[in-house]
Amino acid sequence: MKINNIRVIDPASGRDEISDIYIEEGLIVSKSTRSDDIVIDGTGMIAGPGLVDVHVHFRDPGQTEKECIHTGAMAAAAGGFTSVVMMANTVPPIDDPAVVRQVLERAEKEKIHIYTCATVTKEMKGTSLCDYNALIDAGAVGFTDDGKPIVDETVLTEAFRKISKLHVPVSLHEEDPKYIAENGVNSGEAAKALGLTGADRNAEISMIRRDLKIAEATGVILNIQHISTAEGVDLVRDAKKTCKNIHAEATPHHFTLTDSAVEKYNTLAKMNPPLRSEEDREAIWEGLCDGTIDMIATDHAPHTIEEKSRDFASAPSGITGLETSFLLAYNVLYKKGIIDYLKLFELMSLNPARLYGLSTGTLSEGSAADIVIFCPDEKTCYDTSLSRSCNTPFLGMTFEGKIKYTIAGGRIVRSD
């Protein structure tokens, strides 16, 4: 394959120039010697390393009426993602080597690269630790109890000690249940409008403070998931000054919306942690800009229409996000001048790939030909979803920019 006359953005090298890209046998090469190349005219378009999402819920096994690995992979490719890391809160949870092997066997059939985490604790109960070595041997790339915070500090400390020896990340959902009356909505005016108390911001702040302290003591690679509070951003910023193993991610919905969206979108704006204030949103922008927050991750969380049609308190939390993540980052962060293209692809490709040691996230010679091609001068009307679910407030919106091609391993897996 040859991509002609395209603006190449490579955050690993700082490269930003008009050039050609050559692909042979799944790798980026300096020059093609073949005469039968597939040729893509890249004039007016941008090529970046394929997007990497380290936080997706594909609901497989156990809840495939919401999503399965195949439909999740299609939604990912439509959004420009060439690699994703699945969370482990399936039914049953991914806490057993046999389950790891089963989901990865299904994942190998897809056209993008799909990895999975395993759980920190057995059955995600927060009490007994898993056999981490066996799970890694089976193919898990990290550990998480995402969806159920680990409350017992003694259990978490021992888990960190053991996982630190494996040099893989542990990603944590930071919400202490004792500060939450009803989840999914920020405590304050948004909750009051629903007749609820909601989730106090200290639920996140207190656990981030605790877990940073334990991580620094044990040396574990820690990823703070879907950060939502200004205080949480500040805590991570301070911790990173002395500890290189601290990382954090932000979701598109947390840097796009505030808790006022709950009034407009109801349960489609219900997520954990909840949408916060404008001040929190701006703190997330600053964290993304200055490197405190390393990654943008979707927390793609499909739910059925029936589930999201319940009253607010009983509806599940979470929204889908793979098809709109890059478009929101482009429109909210790039178009507003908060970040440039190099930072955008650093946040969505390079840094998440580095966290999990993936051989992608760059367009350098010899690297995997995982590429997203984007046209800033076209528009995207997001009126249908390739996900099995469509629980998102962004359905029906029109965005500046359009993803034209997603290329994984040198193959076009999605084109407009």
Element (H, E) at 179: none
Q: Which residues of 345-372 are buried (b: 16+ CB within 10 A; e: fewer)?
A: bbbbbbbbbbbbebebbbbeeebbbbbb
- Alpha-carbon span 83 to 163, nearest angstrom: 23
Alpha carbon distances (Å) from 378 to 45, 327, 399, 403, 415: 10, 12, 9, 9, 14
Answer whether the bond into residue 149 is a cis peptide, omega within 30°.
no
299 is a catalytic site residue: yes
Q: Which two tokens stand for residue 390?
A: 């469509």
- Alpha-carbon span 82 to 286, nearest angstrom: 27
Q: Which of 318, 330, 184 is nearest to 256 (CA)?
A: 330
Catalytic residue, chosen from 95, 96, 280, 299, is 299
- Alpha-carbon span 225 to 249, nearest angstrom: 5
* Dihedral Cα 109, 356, 121, 56, nearest 10 deg: -50
State the catalytic residues: 299
